[in-house]
Amino acid sequence: MSPSPSPRLSRSYLQTVCAHSGCDVNASHSRDVVAPIHLATTYERSAPNPLQHPPTSMDPTIAPRGTDGGVCGYPGGYCYSRLANPTRNALERVLTDLDDGLASQAYASGMAAASAILSALAPGDHVIFGVDLYAGVKGVRGMLCDARNVKWDAANAASKEDIVRKIQPSTKLVWVESVGNPMCSVADVRGIRDAIQTLGMASPPLIVVDATWASQFVSRPLLHGADIVLHSLTKYIAGHSDCLGGALIRTRTSTPALDKMWTMACNACTIAGSALDPFTCYMVMRGIRSLWCRIKVQCANAMEVATWLSKHPRVSCVRYPGLSNDPGHVTLLQNGVSDSQDDDPDALFGGMLSFEVEGGAEAALRCLEACKLCVRATSLGGTETLLEHRRSVEAFAGHSDTPEGLVRMSVGLESVQDIINDLDQALNSI
């Protein structure tokens, strides 16, 4: 698809890609304007050739994706739906385009995508994780790192110095969130890439960026030097709090370490079997059609809510990278849609923010209880505003450094005045 004359990577290019998500009339005989859902699990094979045997030398852990130990002879290009499916491929093409990558792989959830990468590490490998990290990733880190003797350190993703200080010869991955959960810290992906390059390592660690909070319109990890970007499709991309999915997108630049990691991560989908089902692929493509419009309104609403909250007497701290005094403000501009845009008037900073209520956990919980419009629920990126007291949610994992009074907010598409009025009456009722 080459949808528009707009320059690639500009917001207008992405806007047009979104509007045509899954729309490839040449891909179907009936010239469907909307991608059909291909439910077949299996596809007809051409007449068998008895002399065709799978090559015995192929290492199953790094066999090319889409193959199954050398199965071939499928004239339609598809063999079995777990390996590849036309609806999933249509979604993967859109995701590749939106992040300007080389290829993408869609998984049954964001966590399946995260697991695909971490399970490719070997005992003795070392990983650096950003401190601000999705609780689910911390959980799977216990399963796939701690339990398998994969070592890790935590570092401040906003500080390339802190990251580089913790790199060891065995460091295989640096894993950061472009906008971090729940403190809204902003990773300096570009700075981390440059700092790693100056180390001159023969096999430098790969940079994996979880861009779920930001979406493709707010941070551009591959453009700024990441090797792999991860999205939970469940959040902004599908956008309606009604389906689970995840994706990995890889950069065009090729290194032996990246190619090996990519193949193994894809095999976790196609061979180990965590592929996203065709109906959900369709739902996600449908969501992407309005992604630009949703993100634009959510970012504008979040900016207004953050500005309003920062003046409220019951609020001690607001974290939102759109505020010009936020520590991540300039970094996010530098890691955004185009290369140099420190004064970009159209820059977007996302729909996620967090704020601290004066009076700690008890006051924060009372505030949430008093909300009538904003919904108390986990997750993010839907059309409805969601609020969550993170400390109570993270309690299940034992230790939490999240401030007691912190409320995480996914700003929705409601009238911003309605959102503010609801917060105002709730804060004033404490």
Ligand X SMILES: *Cc1c(COP(=O)(O)O)cnc(C)c1O
Candidates 81-89, 105-113, 301-309, 333-341; binding stretch for ligand X (CB under 6 A) = 105-113
Q: Does 280 bind ligand X (CB under 6 A)?
A: no
Question: Minimum Å distance from CB 148 to ligand X?
Answer: 20
Segment lying near ligand X (by CB under 6 A), choices 86-94, 159-167, 198-206, 231-239: 231-239
Residue 109 interacts with ligand X (CB under 6 A): yes or no: yes
* Min separation Cβ 368 and ligand X, Å: 19
Residue 134 found at the interface with ligand X (CB under 6 A): yes
- By CB under 6 A, the residues from 152 to 191 that bind ligand X are 177, 181
- Dihedral sign of CA atoms 288, 292, 293, 295 in order: positive
Q: How far is the CB of 134 from ligand X (least distance, A)?
A: 4
Nearest to 169 by CA among 194, 144, 205: 205
- 244: contact with ligand X by CB under 6 A: yes
Q: Which of 160, 134, 197, 178 is nearest to 337 (CA)?
A: 178
Q: Look at residues 97, 105, 108, 8 and name the one whose alpha carbon lies nearest to residue 288.
A: 97
Shortest separation between residue 285's beta carbon and ligand X, angstroms: 16
Packing angle between helix 135-144 and helix 110-118, nearest 10 degrees? 40
| Residue 111 lies near ligand X (rule: CB under 6 A) | yes
- Can residue 246 be called a binding residue for ligand X (CB under 6 A)? yes
Beta carbon nearer to ligand X, 177 or 422:
177
Q: In the complex with ligand X, which residue's Cβ is closer, 136 or 360?
A: 136
Name which of 43 and 349 has its Cβ closer to ligand X. 349
Measured between its terminal Cα atoms, the distance across the chain in Å is 53
Nearest-approach distance from CB 91 to ligand X, in angstroms: 14
- From the CB of 11, what's the least distance to ligand X, in Å? 22
Binds ligand X (CB under 6 A): choice among 3, 36, 136, 327: 136
Stretch that binds ligand X, among 107-115, 288-296, 321-329, 342-350 (CB under 6 A): 107-115
Between 124 and 142, CB nearer to ligand X: 142
Q: Which is nearer to ligand X, 118 or 244 (CB)?
A: 244
Closest contact distance (angstroms) between CB of 319 and ligand X is: 15
φ/ψ of 196, rounded to 5, equals -65, -40
How many angstroms separate the CA atoms of 43 and 47, rounded? 13
Q: Please give the size of the binding site for ligand X, defined by CB under 6 A.
A: 15
Rule CB under 6 A: say whether 232 interacts with ligand X. Answer: yes
- Supply φ then ψ for residue 230, to 5 degrees: -115, 135
354 binding ligand X? (CB under 6 A): no
- For residues 249 and 208, what is the distance between their CA atoms, to the nearest angstrom? 10
Between strands 315-319 and 206-210, the pairing is unpaired
Comparing CB distances to ligand X, the nearer of 210 and 227 is 210
* Contact with ligand X (CB under 6 A) among 100, 210, 277, 404: 210
Nearer to ligand X, 71 or 377 (CB): 377
Residue nearest to ligand X (CB): 110
Minimum distance from CB of 13 to ligand X (Å)? 25
Query: Which window, 67-75, 78-86, 104-112, 369-377, contacts ligand X (CB under 6 A)?
Result: 104-112
Burial label for 56, CB within 10 Å (0-12, 13-18, 19+), is exposed
Q: Which one of 156-164, 232-240, 327-335, 414-422 is the stretch in contact with ligand X (CB under 6 A)?
A: 232-240
Minimum distance of ligand X from residue 248's CB (angstroms): 12
User: 243 or 315, CB closer to ligand X?
Assistant: 243
Size of the chain in residues: 430
Considering only residues 211 to 230 of the shown chain, the ones binding ligand X according to CB under 6 A are: 212-213
Binding site for ligand X (CB under 6 A): 109-111, 134, 136, 177, 181, 210, 212-213, 232, 234-235, 244, 246
